[in-house]
Amino acid sequence: MKTTILQALRMLLVMTVFTGIIYPVAMTFLSLAVFPYQAKGSMIEKNGTIIGSELIGQRFVSDKYFNSRPSGIGYNPAPSSGTNWGPTDKRMQDSANARTAQFKLQNNLSAATVVPKDMLFASASGVDPHISPEAAQLQIERIAKVRGFNPMQLSSLKKLVEDFTEGPQMKLFGNPRVNVLKLNLAVDELQTK
């Protein structure tokens, strides 16, 4: 009995050192060597200042920017979760109805316009950095108007949405999507041209 307990404690110690120290340190150094940008959080810099990660959604409150997907956690990446409201939960229905009305009003859309689901419902992580190309296209006119874009800039803005549309991962998984932070930075650049 005593031998079995000692063997179990030794195995616990060995596995703790291996899985708790050696393996994580080795994976950290390997990822930094092979994928340094991603291993450091895929941070985006502007003028030498980190303004966000291309992997974590942010709230954009100004009408001169594309809106991000709603977040059930206030865009806080620490808890990373959704609201966990089910389809029969009245809070989910009320939230979707309010977001539909707000999106249509903000973007001066007709009552018949179908608002993409990604602008109505938070993602499971609560910090999804992408929206659908359709959601981005519905916001183009508002952004051009607020920024005072001329017809040529409006055309360039439409082209930006196309250029920043990413296809499904490995051409198989998921749907086309647009990274909101990267797109908004490109819009700022377009404004200065």
- What is the structure's pLDDT at 46? 87
Residue 81 scores a pLDDT above 90: no
Assess contact for 139 and 67: CB atoms under 8 A. yes
What angle do the packed helices 151-163 and 180-192 form, to 10 degrees? 150
- H/E stretch holding 152 reads helix 151-163
- H/E stretch holding 181 reads helix 180-192
Q: Which tens digit of pLDDT belongs to each residue from 33-64?
A: 999 998 888 999 988 899 999 999 999 989 99
Q: Which tens digit of pLDDT belongs to each residue from 146-172?
A: 999 999 999 999 999 999 999 998 888
Assess contact for 82 and 124: CB atoms under 8 A. yes
Contacts 24+ apart (CB under 8 A), 105-110: 106/63, 106/67, 106/142, 107/138, 107/139, 107/141, 107/142, 108/141, 108/142, 109/138
Q: Which tens digit of pLDDT belongs to each residue from 96-144?
A: 999 999 999 999 999 999 999 999 998 888 889 999 999 999 999 999 9
- What is the structure's pLDDT at 171? 85
Q: Measure CA of the first residue to CA of the last residue in the chain; give whole Å.
A: 78
From residue 73, alpha-carbon distances to 95, 111, 184 in Å are 14, 29, 22
DSSP-derived secondary structure letter, 8: H
- What is the structure's pLDDT at 74? 86
Residue 192 scores a pLDDT above 80: no
- What is the structure's pLDDT at 2? 82
Q: What is the dihedral sign for C-alpha 135, 44, 53, 71?
A: negative
How much is the average pLDDT of 57-74? 92
Cross-strand pairs, 45: 50
- What is the structure's pLDDT at 72? 85
- What is the structure's pLDDT at 94? 94
Residue 93 banded pLDDT, cuts 50, 70, 90: very high
